[in-house]
Amino acid sequence: MAGFTFRGGIHPYDGKALSREKAITEIMPKGEMVYPVSQHIGAPAKPIVQKGQRVLMGECIAEAGGFVSAPVYSSVSGTVKAIEKRRTVSGDMTDCIIIENDGLDEKAAPLTARKYEEMSRGEVLEVIQKAGIVGMGGAGFPTHVKLSPKAPEKIDTVIVNCAECEPYLTSDYRKMLEEPDRLVKGLQIETGLFAGARGVLAVEDNKPDCIALLKEKVKDIPNITVVALKTKYPQGSERQLIYAVTGREINAAMLPADAGCIVNNVDTVIAVCNAVTEGEPLMHRIVTVTGDAVKDPRNFKVRTGTDYAELIEAAGGFVTEPAKIISGGPMMGISLFDLHVPVTKISSALLCMSVDEVAKWEPSACINCGRCVEVCPSRLVPSHLADHAEHFNEEEFLRYYGMECVECGSCSYVCPAKRQLAQSIRTMRKLQLAKRKK
């Protein structure tokens, strides 16, 4: 048995104290709203509105482009101003629907008028699909697809990823404390889709208050337990989490369902609860706005489509000019060069740092210390993989299991030579994945 952890990993400075004690506050969007049609893995959604059309809050504005896709909903009432390309977090220009917010919040009808208790399994899945729910931890995989494995009878464990192992992020922590009943209900809905499945709320042991609260909430629910995981990065990575909770291993060619597991993050499970019990589509999420360059770091409930710059304004602005701005956490996030990009279903955090820790070091030659090997949770040899990636040696990269990398960044973090190992490996992986797609 794994002992609720995994091999390798690191203990970076977690920076969570900046925002963890402050309750979530809601931001009301001010300017125009921008909705990319691709906020998920899979086919982009197809716009079903036209320029000049009035839309309501919670109205579908782009329908799913296939089974592995997700619809997009307007999070405000207003008028469609344009359908055009806009810059998004990835830096790419993407098709977006632009809505002029009228500030009235006139609501569309809920997705369903049926009570959860009266719904069949198929109806529950249909509501989750209709609601446009995707993995809100960052992956963006459509949740209805995850919950529809080929062999549902083989699923025996539904895990909620409550680890929140990325430094600085505290949105899941706040949600666990502020909405535990919705979290538990969402997990009950998900376990209810698989006969005999148990539910596990897997929380890192640096959140004892969440562990105690959730244990209290599930004490009378026989098939749901709370598991305390060792605090270690990347504990919340899907493969590491499954291993820690069940002792089962999966590789890059497998899905969690192949190991009898379904894994969803906290916000996603709460979105499932909101959709099934209240007919609410996915229109908002929690975003941690933090870092030493921000005046008042905290968590905000933000509507999708809101401009990132509005989040900084709501957090009191900058105390100093940030040297680095990241969408997401410091280990796996994406550097931002323009703050005028929209919040999407997968925007977890906005991290603003006064010092760019990566740029201040010049990489030097490998000293063969082996530290990158010690910390790699995928049991790889990052120094060699990075060499193969940098020399574009695809054959060797694949032969030494480069595709098994989970892109956690632990190797770069510990490297005394400051080699950008994870970055090189990530670039090569992306290329290989794109080739496979073709």
Which residues contact ligand SF4 (rule: CB under 6 A)? 366-372, 375-378, 380, 382-383, 405-411, 414-417, 419, 421-422, 425
CB of 387 to ligand SF4, least distance (A): 9
Backbone φ, ψ for residue 116 (5° rounding): -55, -45
Closer to ligand SF4 by Cβ: residue 176 or 229? 229
> Is residue 276 classed as helix, strand or coil in its secondary structure?
helix
* CB of residue 139 to ligand SF4, shortest distance in Å: 16
User: Among 132, 27, 34, which Cα is nearest to 78's?
Assistant: 34
State the DSSP H helix or E strand holding residue 173, giving kind and residue range, or none if neither: helix 171-178
CB nearer to ligand SF4: pick between 145 and 380: 380
- Residue whose CB is less far from ligand SF4, 97 or 376: 376
Three-state DSSP state, 33: strand
Of residues 62 and 389, the one with the C-beta less far from ligand SF4: 389
Dihedral sign for Cα atoms in the order 351, 429, 257, 277: positive
Residue (115 or 360) nearer to ligand SF4, CB:
360
Pairing of strands 198-204, 157-162: parallel
Do 75 and 57 form a contact (C-beta atoms < 8 A)?
yes
196 to 157, 223, 262, 382: CA distances (angstroms): 9, 8, 14, 40
Residue with tokens 């968590």: 299
Minimum distance from residue 257 beta carbon to ligand SF4 (Å): 22
Between residues 167 and 382, which has the closer beta carbon with respect to ligand SF4?
382
Nearer to ligand SF4, 275 or 408 (CB): 408
- Find out whether 306 and 188 touch, Cβ atoms under 8 Å: no
The set of residues, in sequence order, having a beta carbon less than 8 Å from that of 165 and lying 6+ positions away, is: 204, 231, 232, 233, 234, 235, 236, 237
Which amino acid would we find at residue 83? I
Sheet with strand 25-26: strands edge to edge = 25-26, 298-303, 284-290, 349-353, 324-327, 334-335
User: What minimum distance in Å lies between the beta carbon of 240 and ligand SF4?
Assistant: 10
Tell me the closest approach of the beta carbon of residue 365 to ligand SF4, in angstroms. 8
Residue 9, CB half-sphere, CA atoms under 13 Å: how many?
18
Least distance (Å) from ligand SF4 to the CB of residue 283?
A: 33
Closest CA to 366 of 350, 355, 381: 381
Name the residue nearer to ligand SF4 (CB basis): 164 or 307.
164
Yes or no: say if 7 and 379 are a contact pair by the CB < 8 Å rule.
yes
Tokens of 336: 């931002």
The nearer residue to ligand SF4, 250 or 319, going by C-beta atoms, is 250
Rounded to the nearest whole angstrom, what is the least distance from the CB of residue 9 to ligand SF4 in the complex?
9
Residue (201 or 380) nearer to ligand SF4, CB: 380
3-state secondary structure of 1: coil
CB of 358 to ligand SF4, least distance (A): 14
* Residue 428 CB, nearest approach to ligand SF4 (Å): 11
Min. distance of Cβ 342 from ligand SF4 in angstroms? 28
Three-state secondary-structure class, residue 179: coil
